[in-house]
Amino acid sequence: MTDVAVPAEVVAGHDAHDDGHHTSLGLSNTKLAMWLFLGSECLLFGALISTYLLSTANFIGEVVAGNPTVLATIPEALAEEFAAEGSVSPIFDIPFTSASSFILLMSSLTMVLAHKAISEGNYKNLRIFLATTAALGASFIAGQVYEFTVFFREGITYDGNLFGSAFFTLTGFHGVHVTGGILMLISLLIVSFRGKLQQDRAETVEIVGLYWHFVDIVWVLIFTIVYLIP
Amino acid sequence: MAIIEEPLALPAGEPGPAVKPLGVFTRPRETTGLTTWLTTVDHKRIGIMYGAAAMFFLVIGGVAALLIRIQLATPNNTFLSGDAYNRIFTMHGTVMVFLVVMPIGAAFANYMMPIQVGARDVAFPRINAFSFWVFFLGGLMLNTSWFLGGGANGGWFNYAPNNGIAFSPSTGIDYWSIGLLIVGFGSLTGAINLITTVINLRAPGMSLMKMPVFVWMTLVTQFLLLFAIPVLTVAQLLLIFDRIFDANFFNVAQGADPLLWQHLFWVFGHPEVYLMILPAFGIVSEVIPTFARKPIFGYPFMVFSGVAIGFMGWGVWAHHMFVAGIGPLSVTAFSVATMFIAVPTGVKILNWMATLWGGRLILNTAMLFAIGLVTQFTIGGLSGVSHAIAPSDTQQTDTYYIVAHFHYVLFGGALFGFMSGLYFWWPKVFGHKLDEKIGKWNFWLMVVGFNVTFGPMHILGLQGMPRRMQTYDTVMGFNFWNMIATIGSFVLAVGTVLVLWNALVSYRRWKAAGSPNVGPDPWDGRTLEWSVQSPTPEHNFDESPAVTSLDDFWHRKYVEDENGQVRRVATGDELAQPGNPEGVHLPAPSYWPFVLAAALPIIGYGLIYNLWLIIPGALLVMTALYGWALEPADDLDLPDDHGHGGDDDDHDDGGPPGGAAEELETVQ
Amino acid sequence: MTELAAHTEAHDEHDHHPTEGQYWLVFVALVVLTAIEVAWSFIGLEGVALVAPLIVMMILKFFLVAGAFMHLYFDLKILNGRLFSWAFFGALLLAIGVYFVVFAAFRWEI
């Protein structure tokens, strides 16, 4: 184990920031807490992704085997496509989802630019980038909602079969996390407009950014595993 | 014990403060009474509340246990119906695991760990309060199922598809999953809090390898919680969606595999049992050196074996599923892994024994309980090793042999360790010791009662008595040992309750004698908590202790002279910090953790009874979150205006030790 | 505060922040990778030939976001506490490891 001693300056105590520069890892309490939280989220999304993979594989297995209970939950044409492909790929609109992915990636960029802005004291840019990130996130959610309605119309419902349950749960959880992130971004924006988000609080933006990037990473995983890999 | 001496309002005529409190809830101003407990963010008070709540739930779980034993005392008994029996053993297990053992671990970790690392409080005091309240209210919600839904009845592990709406239509299972989901938030936030505290808030000079073993075990436990709870959360969510929203995760007709539940549950469940025992291991690693008058044998090995247990605990979960229908390769792999995990625990047992060897033993109650853990956990561990061998486990699984195993490790191990901690740290927390004479009765009745109850279960198990069966027929030949076990259980109950009696008697006697204080170092201890007054001052340390070695406090009391003999140079009382709170800035109390915690069961009840309830619940959650983030700085009228910046992800900085810290400005 | 600020600067990792141009570069790389991924999934490959490169690209994107945007690339170099990197990568490997075994137990019934 690393043997790390805290610098002597801390003994004086009175000026000790806990903003990371005197702690043994160099991370402030809040930043460390966010990383720990994200670590636990790895396990959460890992479980959801695994559940999705297993559920969908089982679902396709039943469709291919011609299980009538399962076949009754989707339109016949769709069932034929699934059986022919041996996967649920036919239902996905890859170009549309790619656009969604692009939007989310761009929002990560604007997020990191927002943090850069506040570190440099550029509050105008901070607000522009925060608002853009939130807007891009909202567009992503809108895209997801649209995609879900398309699926409903095509016959995939939440309670119908294993695939529906698993798909909507996984992407739904991701969407809820994105929405939570958007709320945090809007809160930051409001705080900034009230003049209370100053350069010395840049770390707050960074920490919200960590959360946002993590949500983006989860989408990177979901996009590849769910949409691209049959 | 005034936190805020003056009211927040300014004298008439002065302009208002630059920051104005937003909204209805300003920071609470009471200094005594119930509100101070409801709004406290002091880790010590929170630790005490965890302990008290755990004792309350212990009584519930214990009564359930006695009901089970009454039912099983004689063959073909009709004391409990099959349905009632299912509910009682399910709730017994659920309550004991989630609402007793885990919270007692949290109680000790919360109270002792910050002091042992030389900190003033944990990294996020309000989140700490939230963790407690969400555990307590979630636990209460779970127990309302006794009256409202008939209690969960699927076993504490609640397997699918039995837990689905088809086979368990009553709301008991919903209470189980939703109640525990809420309780889980407490564990998760607590884990983030305590890990951050250990990593960031240690006293200067206390490197990781100079921390007490108890802190190390706490740290590993929190990491286990951090990563295991989300897995259980997913399992519970999938179940909730199945039951309430008609999802199909465990719907076999649609092709679902019920083993999914088992895997998810046991991926959580196995780290879970390690996180139940590790705090007790940590406690015993403090008690034994203190009363053997020797340092812990092999400190690095104690640390590394604890970490190893934490890691390896992730690789053995399917040993709970040997007969569930997993493939032969899985069975083999998990069997081998399980055998390996006995090694680090064995290392610990040997180290404790080596610590005892050659020591000048003081066999007081705390020490007796600690030795009790070492012996009884070893017995439980030996039966565990026999379970690791898959072919023999095929015989043992789902029999009373398993029941014997886990009670030996959890009760004879963890709970005995907690009793040891109770007797050890009671003077530090409350300023007086627990009575030793009652303590000895407490210990011996528990040891005898415990072994008479659970020892015979090994025999019953090997004779084939199955678990979770409401009754047995006389032709099976189980009568004798069951009756013995029941008698033992009542002895055990009396013995266990004696600790509560001891608390009462000791307190009364202490008060009657005029509350004489026991002093900072009644046991001639080794670690930092004995260097502050008893009961612990609210601010813990007057100034940050500067640490130069492991067991630093001990080494300031005792040095080695030229002949290598240990000589005392100072007493604990002389060295202890006087407890002067001047110039100390403590985090202020807050309503919001309680409000946020109370909002979650509202959503929970909404999920069970009426989905519209979720809306006010969610609104309350949002209100609480924003109230929390935006609430005013605590001591507005102190000369150095230090605000606790609440940022939008609910984390606030508790501040490092050493007095006034420059904090971020409040949002307002 | 000024002494502290000066002291802060000495430890400051802000000198190591990427420039705006570098952030844009990372973004472009991410977009390009995504485009390749999508194209790859359309060209009619199957089995390992299809899946393996997709996984590789996914991992690349992961490290790009984590390393550059989440600053991990710089944090891990500068921080003298290896515990942190162990904790993060430990969590990641743990999640992958555990869930892979669960998946294997199901799909291949080992």
Residue B17 has pLDDT above 50, yes or no: no
Local confidence band at C88 (pLDDT 50, 70, 90 cut-offs): low
C62 with C109, same domain: the answer is no
CA C77/CA C80 separation, integer angstroms: 8
CA distance B667 to chain A (A): 6
- What DSSP designation does B412 have? I
Band (pLDDT 50/70/90 cuts) for residue B166 is confident
- Contact between C54 and A228 under an 8 Å Cβ cutoff? The reply is yes
| Cα nearest neighbour of B647 on chain A | A204
What pLDDT score does C86 carry? 63
Which one of B208, B227, B318 has the shortest CB-CB distance to C91?
Answer: B227
In a domain? residue B556: no
CA of B301: which chain A residue's CA is closest? A1
What residues of A are in contact with residue B251 (Cβ under 8 Å)?
162
Domain enclosing residue C43, as ranges: 2-79
- Strand ranges (E), A83-133: none
| Both tokens assigned to B427 | 């003077």
The minimal CB distance from B327 to the residues C83, C97, C109 is found for: C109
Both tokens assigned to B267: 């991926």
Report the run of H or E that residue B566 belongs to, with start and end.
strand B566-568
Domain total in chain C: 2
- Among candidates A3, A13, A61 on the partner chain, residue whose Cβ is nearest the Cβ of B544: A13
Q: Which of B373, B336, B337, B330 is nearest to B353 (CA)?
A: B373
Mean pLDDT for B357-380 is 96
Q: In CATH, what number is assigned to the domain containing residue B297?
A: 1.20.210.10
At residue A73's C-alpha, the angle toward residues A67 and A75, to 5°, is 100
Is B318 an 8 Å CB contact of chain C?
Answer: yes
pLDDT digits (tens, 9 = 90+) for A96-110: 999 999 999 999 999
R_g of chain B computed on alpha carbons: 25
Same domain, C23 and C57: yes
Q: pLDDT tens-digit profile of B74-99?
A: 999 999 999 999 999 999 999 999 99
CA-based nearest residue to A169, from A183, A178, A158: A158
Judge if C61 and C106 occupy the same domain: no
Compute φ and ψ for B399, nearest 5 degrees: -115, 175
Say whether pLDDT at B15 is over 50. no
pLDDT at B650: 40
Q: Are C88 and C75 within one domain?
A: no
Q: With an 8 Å Cβ cutoff, are C110 and B223 in contact? A: no
Over 80: is that where the pLDDT of A5 sits? no
Could you give the CA distance from residue B299 to residue B282 in angstroms, rounded to a whole number?
Answer: 12
Task: Let me know if residue B580 belongs to a domain.
Answer: no
Q: Which of B199, B242, B651 is opposite residue A25, by nearest beta carbon?
A: B199
Q: Distance (Å, rounded) from C-alpha B98 to C-alpha C46? A: 47
Q: Which of B119-133, B159-173, B478-492 has the lowest mean pLDDT?
A: B159-173
**Of B218, B221, B198, B194, nearest in space to B208 by CA:** B198
For residue B564, name the pLDDT band (cuts at 50, 70, 90). Answer: confident
From B20-24, B172-176, B285-289, the region with the lowest mean pLDDT:
B20-24
Q: Is residue B159 part of a domain?
A: no
Contact B245 A211 (CB under 8 A): no
Across the interface, which of A6, A27, A165 has its CB nearest the CB of B248?
A165
Q: Which of C94, C102, C110 sits opposite B329 (nearest CB)?
A: C110
Q: What is the mean pLDDT of residues B595-609?
A: 95
Residue B532 distance to chain C (closest CA, Å) = 30
User: How far apart are alpha carbons B512 and B507 in whole angstroms?
Assistant: 8
pLDDT of B521 over the 70 cut: yes
**Helix intervals (H) in B201-258:** 213-245
Domain total in chain B: 1
Distance from CA of C42 to the nearest CA of B (A): 29
Tell me, rounded to whole angstroms, the distance of Cα B620 from its chain centroid. Answer: 28
What pLDDT is attached to residue C73?
66
Q: What stretches of B469-613 show up as alpha helix (H) in DSSP?
A: 479-512, 552-557, 572-575, 592-609
Flag the least confident range among A42-56, B400-414, C89-103: C89-103
C60 shares a domain with C11: yes
Tokens of B368: 């007796």
Mean pLDDT score, B256-276: 93
Per-residue buried b or exposed e for A188-198, using 16+ beta carbons within 10 Å of the residue's own CB: bbebbeeeebe
Confidence label for C87 from pLDDT (cuts 50, 70 and 90): low
Answer yes or no: do C8 and C55 share one domain: yes
Quick check: bond before B657 cis, omega within 30? no
Which of B32-46, B368-382, B456-470, B485-499 shows the lowest mean pLDDT across its residues? B32-46
- Judgement on whether residues C89 and C59 belong to the same structural domain of the protein: no
Look at B77-91, B214-228, B420-434, C39-53 and tell me which has the smallest mean pLDDT.
Answer: C39-53
CATH no. of A41-228: 1.20.120.80
| Top-confidence residue, C5 or B437 | B437
Residue B641 has pLDDT above 70, yes or no: no
Lowest mean per-residue pLDDT among B69-78, B128-137, B357-366, B640-649 = B640-649
> CA B544, CA B210: separation in Å to the nearest integer?
16
Tell me how far apart the alpha carbons of residues B221 and B6 are, in angstroms, rounded to a whole number.
41
Residue A131 reports pLDDT greater than 50 = yes
CB distance B462 to B401 below 8 Å? yes
* Cα B336 from Cα B331, distance rounded (Å): 9
Q: How far apart are CA A55 and CA A75, in angstroms?
A: 19
> Residues near B602 by Cβ (< 8 Å), separated by ≥ 6?
B613, B616, B617, B620
- Are A67 and B544 an interchain contact pair (Cβ–Cβ within 8 Å)? no
For residues C20-42, average pLDDT: 90
B207 contacts in chain A (CB < 8 Å): 3-5, 24
Q: Are residues C64 and C51 in the same domain?
A: yes
Question: Mean pLDDT over all residues of chain B?
Answer: 88
Say yes or no: C95 and C62 in one domain.
no
B568: which strand partners?
A: B558
Is-cis flag, bond preceding B295, omega within 30?
A: no
Tell whether C46 and C98 lie within a shared domain. Answer: no
Kindly report which listed range (A63-67, B61-65, B373-377) carries the lowest average pLDDT score: A63-67
Answer yes or no: is pLDDT of B455 > 60: yes
Q: A225-229, B32-36, B196-200: which has the highest mean pLDDT?
A: B196-200
Contact C110 B327 (CB under 8 A): yes
Residues C37 and C12 in one domain: yes
Q: Which residues of A touch C35 (CB under 8 A)?
A: 98
> Which of B188, B195, B227 to mutate to probe the C interface, most C CBs <10 Å?
B227
| Banded pLDDT at B14 (limits 50, 70, 90) | very low
CB of B336 within 8 Å of a chain C CB? The answer is: no
Residues from chain A that touch B255, judged by Cβ atoms under 8 A, are 58-59, 61-62, 67, 70, 161-162
Domain layout of chain A by residue ranges: 41-228
Residues A22-55: tens digit of each pLDDT: 566 678 899 999 989 999 999 999 999 999 999 9
Q: Where are the alpha helices (DSSP H) in chain C?
A: 2-11, 20-42, 47-64, 72-78, 82-107
Q: Is residue B510 part of a domain?
A: yes
Local structure of A2: helix, strand or coil: coil
**Quick one: average pLDDT of A10-21?**
37
Is the domain of C29 the same as that of C13?
yes
Tokens representing B315 are 């690789």
Task: Look at B261 and C78; give whichever has higher pLDDT.
Answer: B261
Q: Are A143 and A178 in contact (CB under 8 A)?
A: no
Residue B328 lies in domain:
288-516
Residue of chain C nearest B327, judged by CA positions: C110
Residues 175-214 of A with CB under 8 A from C: 206, 209-210, 213-214
Q: Do C87 and B223 touch (CB under 8 A)?
A: yes
